[in-house]
Amino acid sequence: MPSDDDGAYPQTLAVQPGLQIPPGFDSFSPPTWRGSTVVFRNLAELRAHGDAGTTYWRYGLHATPTSEALCQHLAKLEGARDTLLLPSGLAAISLVYFALLRSGDDVLVPDNVYGPNREHGEWLARDFGVTVRYYDPMIGAGIGALIRPNTRLIWMESPGSVTMEVPDSEAIVAAARERGVLTAIDNTWSAGLYFRPFDKGIDISVQALTKYQSGGSDVLMGAVLSRDEALHARLKRTRMLMGWGVSADDCFLVLRALPSLPVRLAAHDRAAREVAEWLSQRPEVVKVLHPALQDCPGHAFWRRDFSGATGLFAIVLHERYTRAQVDAFVEALERFAIGWSWGGAHSLAVPYHVPSMRPAGSWPPEGWQHAGELVRLYIGLEDTRDLIADLRRALETKLSA
């Protein structure tokens, strides 16, 4: 059997070409390391694969230098210590549930939570012996009265996915800490940039990287961030047992988009506020649910807790318009695509019939007059003059004031 490369048979050289790539190439972009097998230099290295503290790479499912680069970048932006990457935002939510809850435990979830999070909770309640209770997102310190001895986790979402209430996260965290209950927030709306959960004492942050962090409407990924080492170890172990990993190519795509994240968010913010303010003058619209505008429940908490707003908000139309009319308005929009997810360059619109989504009955808020159907708008990176012209035309042709 020939022992050096030159003497090997072609079939071996196809597998072991013994490449000599000159070192020294440098670029701003970290290399994309793909790999299932991690090659160890010797058996001692292979055997020293204990969970914590090891500096060895072990297996491509758990981490690669490319995923590690993304983890560190995200932790730096949000002020976390550790990041775990998951194949979607929903998988990140699922990781938090499975890492922290056991049969017999109780969890509190806001009534306006991201729909699939609600369904996930209902599944745990039905099949895994966990009690899941939904609270009014504006409950504030009142959450204390809902905490039971077996309550392990309180979810928050700020603002809520569709109805955009901004909770008093300080009051909720204070009540949770007093009773030793962990808190987790879905921080997707602020992309981990405009709201700093760890400075507020929140234990876990979840981000759907699918949204602004990827920015291209073409990657699915999620992250769970934390500051406490022991908590991270629990989350990490659950992630490993679930077999949840991410592709290095997808990590590369998110890493590529992160340097422009702050300037993209600022552009979405400026454009969304302009469109929201224009809509607030329209006779067809009874409420503009944008955290930076007065109408939005929790506006004062947004002012206290956030350093900016982003591209997603909602409008509530007058109750005189039927669901069919509101659907026709959305379908008449030409600059806004109809579709889920957001965070990319393209503007989107989706109508929602909120009462059917809120079993705890916290909708519409007390004192609101004439609240009808809701339309969620996502303002992308188009020129706002075109977006406003499109909205004006669709309002005027499909809904009469």
Ligand X SMILES: *Cc1c(COP(=O)(O)O)cnc(C)c1O
Among 3-11, 82-90, 102-110, 256-264, the segment contacting ligand X (CB under 6 A): 82-90
Q: Which two tokens stand for residue 352?
A: 């929602």
Residue found by looking up tokens 């775990």 in the block? 84
Number of CB atoms found within 10 A of residue 324's CB: 9
Show contacts with ligand X in window 146-175 (CB under 6 A). 161
Burial of 396 (0-12, 13-18, 19+ CB in 10 A): middle
> How far apart (Å, rounded) are the C-alpha atoms in residues 338 and 349?
5
Helices 65-78 and 248-257, packing angle to 10 deg: 40
Reduced to 3 states, what is the DSSP secondary structure of residue 69? Answer: helix
Judged by CB under 6 A, the residue of 110, 197, 222, 380 near ligand X is 222
Among 84-92, 136-144, 377-385, 386-394, the segment contacting ligand X (CB under 6 A): 84-92
Show contacts with ligand X in window 24-63 (CB under 6 A). none
114 near ligand X (CB under 6 A): yes
Of residues 250 and 284, the one with the C-beta less far from ligand X: 250
Phi, psi of 82 (to 5 degrees): -130, 150
208 near ligand X (CB under 6 A): yes
Of residues 222 and 380, the one with the C-beta less far from ligand X: 222
Q: Beta strand pairing status for 222-226 and 204-208?
A: antiparallel
139 near ligand X (CB under 6 A): no
The CA–CA distances, whole Å, from 147 to 98, 108, 109, 367 equal 20, 8, 12, 28
Of residues 101 and 246, the one with the C-beta less far from ligand X: 246
Of residues 224 and 286, the one with the C-beta less far from ligand X: 224
Of residues 342 and 363, the one with the C-beta less far from ligand X: 342
252 near ligand X (CB under 6 A): no
Nearest distance from C-beta of residue 246 to ligand X, angstroms: 11
188 near ligand X (CB under 6 A): yes
Judged by CB under 6 A, the residue of 67, 94, 163, 210 near ligand X is 210
Among 35-43, 85-93, 141-149, 247-255, the segment contacting ligand X (CB under 6 A): 85-93
> How far apart (Å, rounded) are the C-alpha atoms in residues 263 and 327?
33
Sign of CA dihedral 363, 368, 374, 378: negative
88 near ligand X (CB under 6 A): yes
Of residues 206 and 286, the one with the C-beta less far from ligand X: 206
Residue nearest to ligand X according to CB distances in the complex: 89
> How far apart (Å, rounded) are the C-alpha atoms in residues 225 and 27?
28
350 near ligand X (CB under 6 A): no
384 near ligand X (CB under 6 A): no
352-358: which pairs have CB atoms within 8 A and are 24 or more residues apart? 352/162, 352/314, 352/376, 353/323, 354/162, 354/163, 357/115, 357/162, 358/111, 358/112
111 near ligand X (CB under 6 A): no
90 near ligand X (CB under 6 A): yes
Residues binding ligand X (CB under 6 A): 88-90, 114, 161, 186, 188, 208, 210-211, 220, 222, 341
